[in-house]
A and B are shown apart, each in its own frame.
Chain A
Amino acid sequence: MKVVIASGKGGTGKTTVAVNLAWFLANCGRKVQYIDCDVEEPNGNFFISAHFSERIPAFVMLPAVDQQKCTSCGECSSKCRFNAIVRLPGNTMIFPELCHGCGLCLLVCPTKAISEDEREIGIIERGMGWGGISFVHGVLNVGEPMPNPLIRKVKEQGLADHIQIIDAPPGTSCSFVETISDADLVILVTEPTPFGLHDLKISVEVARARGRSICVVINKDNGIFRPLEKFLEERQLTITARLPENRKVAEVYSEGNILLEELPDYRAHFSSIAAEVFRQSENLMHSPMGVLP
């Protein structure tokens, strides 16, 4: 089962929720895999105390043009949706930083002048953390503009017989869409601030447009930000847990510790989140889509 923890706004508590949910589920005796898809700034490994046993370089396909065979017909350039190819007479130029490696240009080239080369965009690291949690994350190369191909490859490391806790990158654009694309449940973490609400609205819209099941966790809850409560009521969103605002939580996080170990009062909230995960898992089991752990 794939559970994505996402938020839109950065700093709302995605990693806190993801790490502690993984801890809780592992302590329930479940097989858990933590997948950090925040490839631009992965940090889940610190909390999970991951020991890496494998480093796998990640490549994307990069087209290479044989200028001898190329007739400058412009088919590749006009079909490329990412504007990565420029056709000049006698010179077809590829812009690697714009190429998504989709391979369409290879298919449309009438003279087979384009071949497959590859380009390294980052690495995938795999290992184990505490409590038998299987861990995987991706680290995007510095200066690399496109996280999506790496996110896709990190997700391919998902173990089908585990509950996959997937930490999403912040934001609500391409990398978020990629991360939630096949999620069985999207847990949206928000905070009672105008910024948190603004991004929650976008996240809800995107996740619904992608047909994902959503539930909401309010972090740093103080119960007094009315616009958030109103939005959640209006959109009939399930509030799975309200994590009370507490300076101690930030202190525990900043030291790389586990909230549920340091502040056991929060366990009841994570029990509710875990229950939502199990409920979704039950639903899926009875759906024609397939069986889940």
Chain B
Amino acid sequence: MKIAVTTSGDSLAAPMDSRFGRAAGFLVYDTDTKVLQVVDNAQNLNSAQGAGIQAAQTVAEAGANVVITGHCGPKAFRVLQAAGITVYNCEAATVQEALGLFGEGKLLTASDADVEGHWS
């Protein structure tokens, strides 16, 4: 299973980015191979519109099954849902902490977008 966490860094110790569409990037952790992959989101981050849905496409292309982020808007949520990706909202400080909470089953599945678009 691949878990994508929104972050501005490239290691497990990196801080989580609470935004989804305009996060600097994603760390995709493969629980089977234990491989950590950095996925850049700079292009979407700077787009005039549609950052969330393109970011959702990016994580889908990276093969993620799970997204852990601070907040997710309605359009991005629709794409993630269509791609069969489960979204978890999390306020952890670092990527490692977020993955830890997920592993312990302490995160709740988001059943809908938890913010309006352009919330941040």
Contact = CB atoms under 8 A, between A and B. Distances in A.
Interface string A40-53: 00000000000000
A102 interface: no
Q: What secondary structure prevails in chain B residues at the interface with A?
A: helix
Given A91-B83, A95-B50, 10 more contacts: A77-B57, A82-B50, A83-B44, A83-B51, A84-B50, A86-B56, A86-B79, A88-B83, A93-B53, A93-B79
A77 B79 CA distance: 13
B51 A91 contact: no
Interface string B37-68: 00000001001111101101100100000000
Contacts of B78: 93
Contact of A98 (B44, B49, B60): B49
Given A77-B57, A84-B50, A86-B57, A95 B82 contact: no
A95 B50 CA distance: 9
Interface of A: 77, 82-84, 86-88, 91, 93, 95, 98
Contacts of B19: none
Interface of A is mostly: mixed
B83 A95 contact: no
B42 to A, nearest CB: 14
A88 B79 contact: yes
Interface of B: 44, 47-51, 53-54, 56-57, 60, 75, 78-79, 82-83
B60 A88 contact: yes
Contacts of B44: 83
**Closest A-B pairs by Cβ, 7 of them:** A83-B50, A86-B57, A88-B83, A98-B50, A83-B54, A86-B53, A86-B79
A88 B57 contact: yes
Contacts of A82: 48-50
Contact of A83 (B53, B60, B82, B83): B53
Given A77-B57, A88-B57, A88-B60, A83 B47 contact: yes
A275 B51 CA distance: 48
Contacts of A87: 57
B72 to A, nearest CB: 15
19 contacts: A82-B48, A82-B49, A83-B47, A83-B54, A84-B50, A86-B54, A86-B56, A86-B82, A87-B57, A88-B83, A91-B82, A91-B83, A93-B78, A95-B50, A95-B75, A98-B49, A98-B50, A98-B53, A98-B75
User: Which has the most chain B C-beta neighbours within 10 Å: A86, A93, A95?
Assistant: A86
Contacts of A98: 49-50, 53, 75
A93 to B, nearest CB: 6
B57 A95 contact: no
Nearest to B54: A83
A83 B56 contact: no
Given A77-B57, A95-B75, A88 B49 contact: no
Contacts of A86: 53-54, 56-57, 79, 82
A83 B78 CA distance: 15
Contacts of A93: 53, 78-79, 82
Contacts of A83: 44, 47, 49-51, 53-54
